């Protein structure tokens, strides 16, 4: 499988991750268990005529895609692959409410039309007139990883292509209220930045839109490369450890080669428990960082992590507020290790491409 | 395509039958399954023609051995996937790198829409068990756990092209050496959400749909599931499996014209068919039969028909829309119609396009009027979705090369 | 017709426009205001919800929705009281 270069990215998140400031210039702290995005002025990329019909998730997805394309100096990609855990929730909720309120009479078509998960990827295709490969994965916390794997396969088949790949999920008050009833979130959050200091029951909800331009060819704008991705469903600690070691071996690496392990610790003690074992037993020499205290927990939070990892590898610098443990290693290899509500575990291996940048 | 991908198992459930053989008999006998809605508490009950599967959730659950309350979408998916796996007969299944690639557009909406009215009145009411499997991925997880597939799971949602995209992805995963055997396809249950959604778009026919007919008025919705089991040549030989068909070519493109309408010239579907032929290294004349997307809407049939004329010129092969039998099963349609395409190859026949009378003005396309036994080597199946997602796949007889 | 324009702006989320920006006889679709087939469906819903006027199918809409004036005329002629 080819290594894919990240030649551009657009990240919209609860942190300042877009615009002229450097990535994560000053981390934001929140007193809430529901983190929503810092959103840009969308009129930079989308006309009023088009904006009028777009729900928030579509705006976020389209804007982050356009940012990625701009950074890669491209008008349009050759293909678009999107991961979304829950798709267009706001439109789904609107249409469901209308069905009940209006007793199935005189229903507006717009929310229904926009409720399918592939609306994000297809609206982008429409905006930039991309008639190539267009796919949407919706496998919970594997959605972004499946998109990455697909992109790597496409690029192995056609290394010269530019594939727009990303993860988008939105937080609505309805989804938050329903998920809260499942006991997923911490109550009385005083500081999200302190989320991981004391594991307890529950995490914080988040959202975000992150798109990347991936290609088999590096350019002067290459930030990092994606060297591998893997997913593990419902494995116990021992099996998970074995599979992680196997993944590294397949990539000709040992745990000691990992300069920074970015872990998907969510603050929930049940979710975070197995990280500590794996870190202490195998990654004692790596610096350890985290990201969910910055972006919240959501199905495609690993897309945020990927943006963070790429920024770190590009600048050779880890922003304040990310590190849990500093082994003073210059970042050349970053391994993102995510876990989502104990049953979806994944790895994304990112490498510096400074040596191979054209 | 190298390495060759074989279909070694197929399973299907729809309004025309609860098995591969039952569906074939119905297709052979011209017996459609579109009747007035019975199963949903809706103002359209007893009025709107739809293609409902003739089994209750309890009956489906009993058949698949499910004792927990799960969504109808997962039950339908399990039903068809189990038939496909049984058909494949892979004794070594658990020792191979196996994967489940499913597709759905409604996911757990059949239960979410039961929860929502209570929730709207009072945010603390409604049973959480009705929303725990709301996500599309959750449908696949329920299926995977029951089928004993843990190594690799994925879910695709590209509207009406979802399940054929799942089959393509499965084929590519085997070609790239990531998996040895893939169960791929899709499932969708009828819901008030989709019925009302399509009503609001004013593209439903209040009568039986008439795909590719000049007087067509719209589509009929349906439900069901269709799955195939895919393996490489190597796994076929090592496990003494029987090849039902070969995945010869495929393509996924985007029309990029409008969110719900297809371009008049059918550029997305044209590109998909042409690229599928290119991958298969076939000329258009090599296609013996096209299973159309053919929903019966004014827009789709004109667009798809125009694309077919542009590609095949005056050598348009036999073609028909089996949605005239099953209704439009949305996310499941690609999977169900893939199975029907494989059935056509297996039985060396083409299926009729029911209720066709007059060709679309300006197109001069006459679909297959009756069931007919014919030698077939290559069958193409089209699936075109909202959002411009266009896919085309070619299944072929396993020719020894 | 001023009220109708407000309703149209609201239904189609044309927040960047004011009623006075839409001429009584200005073409609404294609090159005029640039509305599309989904807007036509939304206008059908608007007529049903706010003016008790039903349009049976989308094809009928293309003649009725040519301009604000043609919509107003249709409502006057067909409103069910």
The label of the residue with tokens 């709207």 reads B120
The whole-number pLDDT of residue B281 equals 96
The label of the residue with tokens 């309350």 reads B69
pLDDT digits (tens, 9 = 90+) for B249-269: 999 999 999 988 899 999 999
How close A52 gets to chain C, by Cα (Å)? 5
Collect the ranges in chain C with pLDDT lower than 50: none
Neighbours of chain C (3+ CB pairs under 8 A): A, B
> Which residues 62-81 in chain A show a CB within 8 A of chain B?
80
pLDDT digits (tens, 9 = 90+) for A164-185: 999 999 999 999 999 999 999 9
Among B156-170, B256-270, B273-287, C28-42, name the one with the lowest average pLDDT.
C28-42
pLDDT > 90: percent of chain A: 92
Q: Report in angstroms the alpha-carbon separations of C21 from A48, B359, C6, C33.
A: 15, 45, 11, 10
CA C43 to chain centroid, in Å, comes to 5
The answer to whether the CB of A117 falls within 8 A of the CB of A87 is yes
Give the pLDDT mean for A2-30.
Answer: 93
Contacts of B297 in chain C (CB under 8 A): none
Kindly determine whether residue A136 and residue B156, on different chains, have CB atoms separated by under 8 Å.
yes
Give the pLDDT mean for B238-253.
Answer: 97
Give the pLDDT mean for A195-201.
Answer: 93
Query: B21 pLDDT exceeds 70?
Result: yes
Query: Catalytic residue at B293?
Result: yes
Query: B401 pLDDT exceeds 60?
Result: no
Query: Catalytic residue at B134?
Result: no
Give the pLDDT mean for B137-151.
Answer: 96
Residues pairing with B155 in the sheet: B102
The C-alpha atoms of residue A228 and residue A237 are separated, in whole angstroms, by 21
**By a Cβ cutoff of 8 Å, what residues of chain B touch chain C?**
200-203, 258-261
Token duo for residue C77: 């002629």
Q: Is A236 on the interface with B (CB under 8 A)?
A: no
The whole-number pLDDT of residue A354 equals 80
Kindly determine whether residue C16 and residue A48, on different chains, have CB atoms separated by under 8 Å.
yes
Q: Which of B32, B293, B346, B378 is labelled catalytic?
A: B293
The whole-number pLDDT of residue A358 equals 63
Contacts of C12 in chain A (CB under 8 A): 52
Kindly determine whether residue C45 and residue A108, on different chains, have CB atoms separated by under 8 Å.
yes
How close B20 gets to chain C, by Cα (Å)? 37
Kindly determine whether residue C34 and residue A49, on different chains, have CB atoms separated by under 8 Å.
yes
ipTM, two decimals: 0.98
Q: Are strands B34-36 and B245-254 parallel, antiparallel or unpaired?
A: unpaired
The C-alpha atoms of residue A113 and residue B327 are separated, in whole angstroms, by 20
pLDDT > 70: percent of chain B: 99
The whole-number pLDDT of residue B115 equals 96
Token duo for residue B280: 């298969």
Q: Which residue of C has its CA nearest to B200?
A: C41
3-state DSSP assignment of residue B254: strand
Nearest-CB residue to C42 (from A48, A49, A110):
A110
E-strand ranges in A162-243 read 162-169, 208-215, 224-233
Q: Are strands A133-137 and A79-83 parallel, antiparallel or unpaired?
A: parallel
How close A108 gets to chain C, by Cα (Å)? 6
Residues pairing with B123 in the sheet: none
The C-alpha atoms of residue A353 and residue A356 are separated, in whole angstroms, by 5
The C-alpha atoms of residue A146 and residue B153 are separated, in whole angstroms, by 9
Kindly determine whether residue B259 and residue A119, on different chains, have CB atoms separated by under 8 Å.
yes
- Helix ranges (DSSP H) in chain A: 48-51, 56-71, 89-101, 109-113, 119-128, 143-157, 173-181, 237-250, 269-282, 292-295, 301-315
Kindly determine whether residue C58 and residue B202, on different chains, have CB atoms separated by under 8 Å.
yes
The whole-number pLDDT of residue C29 equals 86
Q: Are strands B98-103 and B153-156 parallel, antiparallel or unpaired?
A: parallel
Q: Which residue of A has its CA nearest to C51?
A: A106
pLDDT digits (tens, 9 = 90+) for A19-34: 887 788 889 999 999 9
Nearest-CB residue to A106 (from C13, C15, C49):
C49
């Amino acid at each position: 499988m080819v290594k894919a270069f990240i030649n551009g990215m657009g990240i919209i998140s609860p942190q300042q991750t877009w615009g002229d400031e450097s990535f994560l210039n000053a981390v934001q702290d929140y007193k809430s268990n529901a983190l929503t995005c810092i959103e840009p002025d969308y009129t930079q990329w989308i006309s009023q005529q088009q904006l009028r019909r777009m729900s928030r998730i579509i705006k976020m997805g389209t804007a982050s895609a356009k940012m990625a394309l701009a950074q890669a100096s491209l008008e349009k990609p050759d293909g678009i692959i999107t991961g979304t855990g829950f798709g267009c929730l706001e439109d789904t909720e609107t249409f469901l409410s209308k069905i009940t309120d209006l007793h199935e009479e005189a229903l507006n078509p717009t929310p229904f039309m926009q409720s399918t998960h592939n609306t994000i990827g297809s609206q982008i295709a429409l905006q930039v007139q991309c008639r190539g490969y267009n796919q949407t994965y919706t496998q919970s916390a594997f959605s972004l990883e499946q998109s990455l794997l697909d992109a790597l396969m496409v690029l192995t088949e056609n290394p010269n292509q530019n594939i727009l790949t990303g993860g988008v999920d939105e937080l609505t008050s309805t989804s938050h209220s329903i998920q809260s009833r499942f006991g997923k979130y911490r109550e009385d959050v005083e500081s999200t930045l302190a989320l991981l200091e004391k594991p307890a029951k529950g995490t914080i909800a988040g959202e975000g839109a992150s798109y990347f331009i991936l290609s088999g060819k590096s350019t002067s704008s290459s930030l990092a490369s994606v060297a591998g991705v893997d997913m593990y469903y419902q494995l116990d600690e021992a099996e998970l450890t074995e599979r992680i070691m196997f993944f590294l071996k397949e990539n000709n690496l040992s745990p000691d080669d990992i300069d920074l392990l970015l872990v998907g610790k969510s603050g929930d003690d049940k979710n975070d428990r197995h990280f500590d074992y794996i870190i202490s037993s195998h990654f004692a020499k790596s610096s350890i960082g985290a990201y969910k205290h910055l972006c919240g927990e959501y199905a495609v939070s690993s897309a945020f992590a990927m943006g963070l990892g790429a920024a770190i590898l590009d600048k050779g610098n880890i922003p304040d507020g990310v590190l849990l443990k500093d082994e003073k290693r210059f970042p050349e290899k970053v391994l993102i290790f995510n876990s989502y509500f104990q049953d979806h575990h994944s790895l994304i291996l990112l490498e510096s491409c400074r040596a191979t940048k054209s | 395509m190298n390495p060759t991908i074989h279909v070694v198992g197929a399973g299907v459930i729809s309004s025309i039958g609860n098995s591969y053989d039952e569906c074939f008999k119905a297709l052979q006998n011209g017996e459609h399954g579109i009747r007035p809605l019975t199963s949903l508490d809706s103002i359209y009950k007893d009025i709107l023609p739809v293609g409902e599967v003739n089994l209750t959730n309890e009956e489906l659950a009993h058949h698949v051995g499910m004792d927990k309350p799960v969504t109808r979408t997962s039950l339908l998916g399990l039903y068809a996937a189990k038939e496909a796996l049984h058909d494949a007969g892979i004794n070594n299944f658990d020792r191979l790198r196996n994967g489940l690639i499913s597709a759905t557009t409604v996911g757990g909406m059949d239960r979410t829409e039961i929860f929502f009215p209570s929730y709207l009145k009072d945010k603390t009411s409604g049973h959480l068990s009705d929303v725990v499997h709301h996500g599309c991925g959750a449908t696949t997880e329920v299926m995977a756990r029951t089928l004993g597939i843990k190594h690799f799971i994925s879910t695709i949602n590209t509207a009406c092209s979802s399940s054929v995209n799942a089959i393509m992805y499965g084929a590519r995963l085997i070609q790239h050496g990531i998996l040895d055997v893939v169960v791929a396809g899709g499932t969708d249950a009828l819901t008030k959400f989709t019925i009302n959604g399509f009503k609001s778009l004013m593209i439903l026919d209040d009568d039986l749909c008439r795909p590719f007919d000049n007087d067509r008025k719209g589509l009929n919705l349906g439900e069901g599931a269709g799955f195939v089991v895919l393996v490489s040549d190597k796994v076929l030989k090592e496990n003494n499996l029987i090849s039902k068909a070969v995945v010869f070519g495929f393509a996924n493109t985007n029309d990029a014209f409008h969110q719900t309408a297809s371009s008049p010239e059918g550029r997305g579907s044209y590109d998909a068919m042409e690229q599928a032929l290119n991958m298969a290294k076939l000329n258009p004349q090599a296609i013996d039969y096209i299973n159309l997307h053919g929903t019966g809407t004014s827009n789709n049939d004109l667009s798809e028909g125009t694309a077919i004329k542009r590609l095949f010129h005056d050598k348009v092969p036999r073609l028909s829309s089996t949605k005239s039998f099953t209704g439009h099963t949305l996310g499941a349609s690609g999977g169900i119609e893939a199975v029907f395409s494989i059935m056509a190859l297996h039985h060396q026949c083409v299926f009729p396009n029911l209720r066709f009378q007059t060709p679309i003005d300006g197109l001069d396309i006459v679909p297959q009027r009756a069931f007919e036994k014919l030698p077939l080597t290559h069958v193409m199946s089209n699936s075109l979705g909202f959002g411009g997602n266009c896919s085309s796949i070619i299944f072929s007889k396993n020719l020894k090369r | 017709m001023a009220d109708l324009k407000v309703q149209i702006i609201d239904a189609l989320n044309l927040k960047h426009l004011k009623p006075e920006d839409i001429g009584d006889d200005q073409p609404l679709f294609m090159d005029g205001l640039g509305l599309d087939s989904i807007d036509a469906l939304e206008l059908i819903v608007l007529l049903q919800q706010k003016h008790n006027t039903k349009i049976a199918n989308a094809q009928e809409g293309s003649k009725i929705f040519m301009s604000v004036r043609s919509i107003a005329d249709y409502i006057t002629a067909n409103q069910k009281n």
